[in-house]
Amino acid sequence: MIWYPYQQMKTMKPPYEIIDAKGVYLYTKDRQLIDSVSSWWSVIHGYKHPVLTEAIKNQADNFSHVMLGGLTHKPVQKLSAKLEQWLPGDLDYCFFSDSGSVAVEVALKMALQFYVNRGERREKVLALNHAYHGDTFKAMEVGDDEDYHFAFQEKKGVYHIPTEIPALEEAFLKYHKELNCLIVEPLLQGAGGMLMYDMAFLKRARELCDAYDVLLIFDEVATGFGRTGYRFVADEVLPDILVLGKALTGGYIGHAVTVANHKVYGGFYGDDPGMAFMHGPTFMGNALAAAVALKSIELFEEGNYLKKIQRITEITKRELKGFESPKVKEIRIMGGCVCLEVKEEKTIEGYQRFAYERGVFSRPFLKYMYAMVPYVIEEEQLVKVISTMKEWLS
Ligand SMILES: *Cc1c(COP(=O)(O)O)cnc(C)c1O
């Protein structure tokens, strides 16, 4: 049987069975549902996009996978060339992997070994309170969310700080000799509760990382590809390592990439085999994933997506203007993300069913009702997503 994620299997409600999906819609046997979650924030172009489906079919007719150990191929070459040209600054060196968590592990290993290769041991990572970086062990350790990881308390290799500049400065002053990197979800902390913070924090982080020679890692697995309203937050503040996942393939197939800048890559480059980066997921650079990711990026570029996302922000703000409910603690809106944080968890009980009856798929968690819609959503569909939340809370 299937063991479902984040669920007590004994009390889990049966999941909705999806038999078809197109555009922003999921179809069950008897319902058409607007997907307000974009399948964990990944399906930015909507389901069954003809261009993406064709890309993956064409590649499957050619070959679906060959390993990158000793082999290479056009789809992965084209994707890495595209990323090199498309991503900001000198984020040019693409290490592919099969999921966001693994790509975060790769980034953290790179940061640690970068200093080992220089003959320094810097064991510690600086990270943010409420961070979420994935469910593998090191990613969990730099994460900070009891609700996900309460069973695994060991946190020896990491210092956590709030998203406040004084705390950041203090941490650098105190710990800089031990730190190999600072890792953040820039501007928007997703799984930690759609928490939003200021660009000024990131600018100061960049300055401090430069001043103390500490690597800056942006985990843009969730925020990348426009979710914050910026194409990448890395366009505004340049990290040393950028991690992308989720929307990388338009939500078609699991894949992720850890992109290093020239400085990081240079720290591994040389005649000594012992300085090489020892990591290699079996399915890294998978040809189906690479082919569909390349097309997804082209759609993003050609379709003027930042404009689409801006429209989503405007409609969301308009629909929530003046909305008040005694049950709501705070409303947060950024780019293609809206979160209504409620005061008590029990407020959310029953909402998923309520939304389902009204033709919206939603997956609230803890105290957070939220929407991260596919960017191709129509105005009336988005209005429906938001009005369903308002109706529940009124
Ligand atoms: C989802 C997520 C991950 C983990 O990605 P997976 O593909 O689920 O392993 C890592 N970091 C952030 C910020 C995420 O939102």
Q: What is the pLDDT of residues 349-388, one digit of tens each?
A: 999 999 999 999 999 999 999 999 999 999 999 999 999 9
What's the whole-number mean pLDDT along residues 230-259? 98
Instruction: Judge whether 230 counts as a catalytic residue.
Output: no
Q: Give the DSSP letter of residue 331.
A: E
Q: Which fold has domain 51-302?
A: Aspartate Aminotransferase; domain 2 (3.40.640)
Tell me if the domain spanning 20-49+304-393 has CATH number 3.90.1150.10.
yes
In which band, very low, low, confident or very high, does the pLDDT at 145 lie, cut at 50, 70 and 90? confident
Instruction: Return the residue whose CA atom lies nearest to atom 8 of ligand 1.
Output: 100
Residue from 6, 147, 198, 317 carrying the catalytic annotation: 6
Residue pair 366/31 in contact by the 8 Å Cβ criterion? no
Residue from 93, 115, 132, 351 carrying the catalytic annotation: 132
Residue pair 275/253 in contact by the 8 Å Cβ criterion? no
Q: What percent of the chain has a predicted confidence (pLDDT) above 70?
A: 98
What's the whole-number mean pLDDT along residues 223-240? 98
In which band, very low, low, confident or very high, does the pLDDT at 156 lie, cut at 50, 70 and 90? confident
Q: Give the DSSP letter of residue 179.
A: E
Instruction: Judge whether 132 counts as a catalytic residue.
Output: yes
Residue pair 46/22 in contact by the 8 Å Cβ criterion? yes
Alpha carbon 300 to its chain centroid, in Å, reads: 16
Instruction: Judge whether 351 counts as a catalytic residue.
Output: no
Taking the model in full, what pTM does it have? 0.97
Ligand 1 atom closest to 139 (CA): 10
Instruction: Judge whether 246 counts as a catalytic residue.
Output: yes
The answer on pLDDT for 147 being more than 70 is no
Which is more confidently placed, 245 or 146?
A: 245
Mean pLDDT for all residues in the chain: 97
Residues of the chain with CATH 3.40.640.10: 51-302
Q: What is the pLDDT of residues 161-205, one digit of tens each?
A: 999 999 999 999 999 999 999 999 999 999 999 999 999 999 999
Q: What integer pLDDT is reported at residue 149 of this predicted model?
A: 58
In which band, very low, low, confident or very high, does the pLDDT at 153 lie, cut at 50, 70 and 90? low
Ligand 1 atom closest to 245 (CA): 7
Q: How many angstroms is it from 156 CA to the middle of ligand 1?
A: 22
Residues with CB under 6 A from ligand 1: 99-101, 104, 132-134, 185, 190-191, 219, 221-222, 245-246
What's the whole-number mean pLDDT along residues 120-143? 96
DSSP conformation letters of 2-52: ---TT--TTTPPPPPPP-EEEBTEEE-SS-EEEESSHHHHT-TT-BS-HHH
Write out the E strands in 70-196.
93-97, 124-128, 158-161, 179-184, 188-189, 195-196
The answer on pLDDT for 288 being more than 70 is yes
Q: What integer pLDDT is reported at residue 101 of this predicted model?
A: 98
List, in order, residues 6 or more apart from 366 with CB less than 8 Å away. Answer: 147, 193, 345, 348
The answer on pLDDT for 154 being more than 80 is no
* 3-state SS assignment for residue 90: coil
d(CA 333, CA 228): 9
Q: How many angstroms is it from 29 CA to the middle of ligand 1?
A: 30
Ligand 1 atom closest to 246 (CA): 7
Residue from 124, 138, 246, 367 carrying the catalytic annotation: 246
Q: Exposed, middle or buried by CB within 10 Å (0-12, 13-18, 19+), for 85? A: exposed
